[in-house]
Amino acid sequence: MDITDIIRAGRYFHDAGLVTAASGNLSIRCGDRLLITCTGSVLRNLCESDIVTTGIDADDDNTKRASSELAVHREIYRRTAVKT
């Protein structure tokens, strides 16, 4: 799984009527890191610059650009067996 998978998923969710253009956040776990949509991203129009890689257990330079729901996504990965 990679950035293109998140972009495709965002478009799919929008086109299927599961979300509105600007609602929702997407992430994928990659080991001890995750790919997550940026704050303010429009799911229908996602591009590579709308996705950031950051730590599951630690902040880094990319954390400030991540979705405001980053804490929720991190906790899901910590508490479940969700793996890539």
With beta carbons less than 8 A apart as the criterion, state whether 27 and 34 touch: yes
Looking at residue 29, what is its pLDDT?
92
User: Residue 19: inside a domain, yes or no?
Assistant: yes
Domain assignment of residue 54, yes or no: yes
Q: Identify which of 66, 57, 18 has the alpha carbon closest to the alpha carbon of residue 38.
A: 66
pLDDT given at position 10 = 92
Q: Which CATH number is 68's domain given?
A: 3.40.225.10
Q: What is the predicted pLDDT for the residue at 19?
A: 87
Spell out the per-residue pLDDT of the chain, length 84, in tens: 789 999 999 999 999 999 876 678 999 999 889 999 999 899 999 999 999 999 999 999 999 999 999 999 999 999 997 765
How many structural domains compose the chain? 1
Q: What is the pLDDT of residue 84?
A: 58
Domain span holding position 40: 3-79
**84 within some domain:** no
